[in-house]
Amino acid sequence: MQRRDFIKTGSIAGITTLVAASCNTATPDKKTTGSEDASLDDFELNEVTIDTLQQKMRIKEHTSRSITEKYLKRIDDIDKAGPKLNSVIQVNPDALNMADAMDKERANGKVRGPLHGIPVLIKDNIDTGDNMMTTAGALALEGNFAKQDAFIVHKLREAGAVILGKTNLSEWANFRSTHSTSAWSSRGGQTKCPYVLDRNPSGSSAGSGSAASANLCAIAIGTETDGSIVSPSSVNGLVGIKPTVGLWSRSGIIPISKTQDTAGPMARTVKDAAILLGALAGYDPHDSGMIQAETQAPADYTKFLDANGLKGKRLGVEKSALETSPFMKTLFEEAIAVLKSKGATMVDVDVYGQIKQAGHDEFTVLLYEFKDGVNKYLSNANCKMKTLADVIEFNKKNEARAMPYFKQETLELAQKKDGLDAKEYLDAVKNTTSITRGVIDKILQDNKLDAIIAPTNGFANCIDLVNGDYDNGYSFSGPAAMAGYPHITVPMGYFHELPIGLSFVSTAYDEAGIITLGYAYEQASKKRVPPKFTKVIV
């Protein structure tokens, strides 16, 4: 369950009920309008992959600078003008200098790896020790220029990537209010879904999802506590990988939960996501949740890409996914048929039926861990806010700008919590992490399964700043999020141009296994379609 759902409901009840939207909800008799500008599909780098960009630089058809310039112009044309996606909260003023440096290295015979010279957008809750702020979309954190890079940003630079800029997000990673609208922040405003512009691209890594889908960058990075990588990836027609908690470092990332937080790749293909996943994995002694150095992950996940990787595999079909809306169910059944045609065996399972208590306790865990983590982050941050209490007070004093549509009751609930030694917290975290891990592992082992599958989530919500987000019918992010287990989503199909993804979930550090499954499904189905910037479903 995504945070916007359990904040409102406090449980996983109702995940299979499709609730009508307060604006144009897709129904069988509704159609879509044309795009804002048909020429948007003529962008030279549309749907380009990392391999193709490397080939273009290798044969000198392009340089990193010329590629970076094209993406910067694309941001001007699509994000700031035209459809005005509003996905990029800040362009990196040093992007072209970074590109020039990588071109110079290439000219001297040095290529660092597959990310050398590749433009990447990162979410605005990830520290960069440069001329960009890190604010989690909050006006309260304006002026927060980090003292140093987050560990994964250091890894990006080490790999030779060009940091193109930072993306907008649901403010405080969608952990501010029970009535929030995903993809809105007080600093960045509202981001749009590039498929249908009156829809939001889901939270909280909304800007990364919208930007990568609209070809504003080669690849993007999001962060997730529960659903914030896989959900925006799903509704924006992307591949998203939420790694096992501990595979990627969290140091230098504005936190919500030490037990559930992780950053991860968002890309248009499984291969590109796998390239980024391997490049940024690495042991960080400053993150106590990291796996130990001697058990480091593979440096190259692309070796697990196998178009025949479904043959002989056993997949658990989540029961609740067959009880959802008829449109989602049809796409899921079509995906199951593809999986079977490639040699996979299906077994019915019931994950959600066994983790009800975990669903009730998750929000409690996040409230405690958010207060503890944010206070620690702000105590060393380069901004005026030094505690969560300071943020709450700032928002009250600047209510017209900071809280024009929804308030901060979630921040206030977190502020009331005690420390992480409180019995309420200890009991709740045991019920979420331990129970969910036990349920997933037992289902996998008892049924000899390679992964569990389900639709990732429902179709994109309409943007509604008055009423906030509504229940879009389904979410399968909760089990892997609470367990801290790996989760990949791959495009599964469309309903009235609205994408939806197929999820593969497995046990701890089985990224290789789900990448194999996701890639084989991707190659068999080929469901990724670039957005047309449709104005509205009418």
Distance in angstroms (rounded) separating the CA atoms of residues 438 and 114: 37
Which of the residues 177, 182, 228, 233 is marked catalytic? Answer: 228
Say what the pLDDT of residue 16 is.
Answer: 30
Distance in angstroms (rounded) separating the CA atoms of residues 248 and 125: 15
Q: Residue 120 has which token pair?
A: 């990447």
Say what the pLDDT of residue 32 is.
Answer: 56
- What are the pLDDT digits (tens) for 341-399? 999 999 999 999 999 888 899 999 999 999 999 999 999 999 999 999 999 999 999 99
Say what the pLDDT of residue 107 is.
Answer: 98
With vertex at residue 255, the alpha carbon angle to CA 174 and CA 398, rounded to the nearest 5 degrees, is 55
Distance in angstroms (rounded) separating the CA atoms of residues 229 and 112: 27
Give the CA dihedral 189, 194, 200, 206, nearest 10 degrees.
-70
Say what the pLDDT of residue 295 is.
Answer: 59
Say what the pLDDT of residue 476 is.
Answer: 97
Say what the pLDDT of residue 39 is.
Answer: 46
- What are the pLDDT digits (tens) for 367-379? 999 999 999 999 9
228 is catalytic: yes
DSSP letters for 268-310: SSHHHHHHHHHHH----TT-TTSPPGGGPPPS-GGGG--TTTT
- What are the pLDDT digits (tens) for 243-262? 999 999 999 999 999 999 99
204 is catalytic: yes
The answer to whether the beta carbons of residues 87 and 93 sit under 8 Å apart is: no
Residues 6+ apart with CB under 8 A from 110: none
- Please give, one letter per residue, the 3-state secondary structure of 313-365: CEEEEEHHHHHCCHHHHHHHHHHHHHHHHCCCEEEEECCHHHCHHHHHHHHHH
With vertex at residue 493, the alpha carbon angle to CA 474 and CA 321, rounded to the nearest 5 degrees, is 30
DSSP letters for 66-135: HHHHHHHHHIIIIISSTT----EEEE-TTHHHHHHHHHHHHHTT---STTTT-EEEEETTB--SSSS---
Say what the pLDDT of residue 10 is.
Answer: 35
Q: Which helix (H) or strand (E) holds 493?
A: strand 487-495
Which of the residues 35, 56, 123, 525 is marked catalytic? Answer: 123
Give every residue of the chain whose pLDDT is below 70, as ranges: 1-40, 291-296
Which of the residues 186, 204, 503, 506 is marked catalytic? Answer: 204
Distance of CA 427 to the CA centre of its chain: 28
Query: What length is written for the chain?
Result: 538
DSSP letters for 425-456: HHHHHIIIIIHHHHHHHHHHHHTT-SEEEEE-
With vertex at residue 75, the alpha carbon angle to CA 195 and CA 119, rounded to the nearest 5 degrees, is 100
Q: Residue 525 has which token pair?
A: 């189905």
Distance in angstroms (rounded) separating the CA atoms of residues 197 and 104: 40
Say what the pLDDT of residue 359 is.
Answer: 86
User: What top-level class would CATH report for the domain 3-525?
Assistant: alpha beta
Burial of 403 (0-12, 13-18, 19+ CB in 10 A): middle
